[in-house]
Structure 1
Amino acid sequence: MTVEPTAKPVRRQRIRPGDAALNAWGVLGLVFLFFPIVVIVVFSFNDGRTLQTFDGFGVDAYLSALSNPAITNAITVSLITATGTAVVATLLGTFAGVALTRRPGWWAPGLLVLLGLVLVTPEIVSAISLLPWFVTLGVDWGLPAFNVGQVRLIIANSLFASAVVTFIVRARMTGMNEFLEEAAADLYATPIRRFTDITLPLIRPAVLSGALLAFTLSLDNTVVSSFVSVAGSTPWPVYIFASLKASLRPDIAAMSTMMLVLTLIALGIAALILRRDPTGSGGGAAGLTSAMVGK
């Protein structure tokens, strides 16, 4: 004879007033942060001439934005700048992070201080210092005006982005054991082979997330870009800032919504990459947090 176990009564978890208040406060905080973005997204479907009034729902603003040469040129400049910034910052930041972790010398504390200063220095200070520096160089690299402006934007945006990538890669390298690299060296693997076969696969999530973050940070850099850009290479944030002097049109809101979606996709990919931590140390997320403190 078998005795069937009696089902335990399900107890309802009582919600304490303090927890309910904290949850409500968190929801209000999220609404406060994201409500302006929601307003821009909603008004991007406005058929009116300005965003002051909502005259009807439609997609004319998106069609107008995509057919406006000034807007498409600004978007093109921003995307090219963001891509170039991601490449430059990833190369510099990856090698700097590896060097700071594996071969630190007398120069390491000074470099960390400089990178920290880059993160905490106000953008307006960086912009004011970059403008006379570019003027003093007086070099056009034999390129047309558009390409000169593009190069200046990439260099300016790469300063902050390189520091971000360096701290992310450094955090990942700190959580890695050097035994695998030493074992490869014992098997007569060259330094380049050790880096490509051992080190790079292990730090790949940090490198890729750093590149995506550098791309994203470059898209919304308004202060520095407004100082170093030249005629013919106006990026999208500077174009929006100049358009605000007249009126904010729905086509600007429409293109801003499209750029927002692109930014969210990049950040989502970066978050997924950071979650895939083969070392189990979470170094990529820690590096991301420490790198963004100064922003």
Structure 2
Amino acid sequence: MTQTATETMLRAQDPAGSSAKRTGPKRSWSDVAFTVWGVLVMLFLFLPIIVIVIYSFNTGRLLVAWDGFGFDAFLTILEKPAIQSAVRVSLITAFIAAIIATALGTLAGIAMARYPGKWVWWFLGLLLLVSVTPEIVDAVALLPWLVFLGQDLGLGMFNDGIVRLSVGSSLFATAVVSYIVRARLVGMDANLEEASSDLYAKPFTTFRRVTLALAMPAVLAGFLLAFTLSLDNTIVAAFVQVSGTTPWPVYVLSAVRSGLRPEIAAVSTIMLLLTLVALALVALVLKRAGDSATQIARTMTGG
């Protein structure tokens, strides 16, 4: 029997199966409904951001009054020292806060992963408390504390606006870095560290060349996330700032009273791009470390 005849007989015996293979499974109405609902939810969440990006190219005097398309708003940034100062303060404080949060959070995450015990759950509870406490509570608590340190105890550094903003922004970011580093190490066996100790390596050498090397992707990811989280700490910044060191979120908040201008949207667009680049770098660092998409999501969320 020839091959053509065999194929003809198979098609005659199973015409429905062949048709199903050609057309594929039919989607139910519930699948279509959930797909449409998902698209609508995504549009609802991201449409305001898209609108701000579009209006950053508005040449009008006010943000809400569209006049035409152009780059005037971005050029205005170069002509207003107040905007430049606010952006510079935000970037500097976010960078310092990220360093503080990374240093403290890395040590905390390694300790929780490598020295398990009942204390870990108590410590995780404290970190969770920091994470869920409303920012207004943190701000109200920080202000008198920083004033006490700077004026009553005479520690002049706490009278500096950059120091105040950096300390205030690092609180929540430290908890985030701790979650990420712990999530990275808790699933890794400690055999390499034990082998290093068996080979008579000093504890600091083992920590630097083995433990820290294993945790480095999470450390870098935590640093970048801490940086992005510190850029928009509006409530804490509004309370602890001092004259001359106004960060960008507080500047925008004060500009609402006189009417938002297109340059506000322009700077917001630039910061949005900066945040997206930072998140992309986080994913790239974790991917180069060999993590899957699920592992990357777990590490970034501290899961």
TM-score over 0.5 (shorter chain): yes
Q: Does 1:98 align with 2:98?
A: no
Amino acid at match of 1:47: T
> Which residue type is aligned with residue 12 of structure 1?
T
2:229 maps to what in 1?
217
Residue 47 of structure 1 deviates from its aligned partner by: 0.6
What is the percent sequence identity of the aligned residues? 53
Question: Which position in structure 2 is the counterpart of 1:138?
Answer: 150
Once the two structures are TM-superposed, the CA of residue 275 in structure 1 deviates from its matched residue by 3.5
Q: Is the 8 A contact 1:168 1:283 kept in 2?
A: no
CA contact (8 A) 1:174 1:283 kept: no
The reply on whether 1:11 has 2:22 as its aligned counterpart is yes
Residue 82 of structure 1 is matched in structure 2 by 94
Task: Provide the C-alpha distance between the structure 2 equivalents of 1:208 and 1:275, rounded to a whole number of angstroms.
Answer: 12
Alignment of 1:27-176 (within 5 A): 27-104=39-116, 107-139=119-151, 141-142=155-156, 148-176=160-188
Give the conservation status (yes or no) of the 8 Å contact 1:41–1:257: yes
CA distance 1:144–1:157, shift in 2 (3 Å): closer
Deviation at 1:173, TM superposition (A): 1.2
Q: What is the letter of the counterpart of residue 23 of structure 2?
A: R
Matches within 5 A, 1:188-203: 188-203=200-215
CA displacement 1:12-64 (0-9 Å, x = unmatched): 22222111111111110111011101111111111110012110111011000
Instruction: Tell me by how many angstroms 1:89 deviates.
Output: 0.5
Paired with 1:75 and 1:285, the residues of 2 have a C-alpha distance of 30
Amino acid at match of 1:11: R
Distance 2:194 2:294 in 1: 23
Partner-residue secondary structure (3-state), 1:253: helix
Structure 2 match to 1:179: 191
The residue type paired with residue 235 of structure 1 is P
* In structure 1, C-alpha distance between the alignment counterparts of 2:291 and 2:76, rounded to whole Å: 48
Aligned length: 289
Structure 2 match to 1:205: 217
* TM-score when normalising by structure 2: 0.88
Shift of residue 290, structure 1, vs aligned partner: 4.2
- C-alpha RMSD of matched pairs (Å): 2.4
Q: Deviations over 1:122-167 (max 9, x none)?
A: 011000100111111125755697xx10000111111110011001
In structure 2, what is the Cα distance between the partners aligned to 1:102 and 1:163?
17
Q: Given that residues 175 and 283 in structure 1 are in contact (C-alpha distance below 8 angstroms), is that contact kept between their aligned partners in structure 2?
A: no
- Equivalent residues of 1:176, 1:279 under 8 A apart: no
Question: Do 1:46 and 1:55's aligned partners in 2 also have CA atoms closer than 8 Å?
Answer: yes
Using the alignment, how far apart are the partners of 1:67 and 1:144 within structure 2? 32
Return the letter of the residue paired with 1:221: N
Partner of residue 245, structure 1: 257
Specify which structure has the higher proportion of helix: 2
Quick check: which has more Rg, 1 or 2?
A: 2
Q: What is the CA-CA distance between 1:174 and the residue it aligns to?
A: 0.5
Distance change >3 Å, CA 143–CA 199, structure 1 → 2: closer
Distance 2:262 2:210 in 1: 50
**Relative contact order (alpha carbons < 8 A, sep ≥ 6): 1 or 2 greater?**
1
Cα offset for 1:196?
A: 2.0
List gaps (5 residues or longer) in structure 2.
12-17
- The amino acid that maps onto 1:176 is M
Is contact 2:150–2:156 with CA below 8 Å preserved after alignment?
no
Q: Is the 1:90–1:211 Cα contact (8 Å) retained in structure 2?
A: yes
Letter in 2 for 1:136: F
1:201 Cα offset (Å): 1.9
Distance 2:63 2:214 in 1: 48
2:150/2:157 contact within 8 Å kept: no
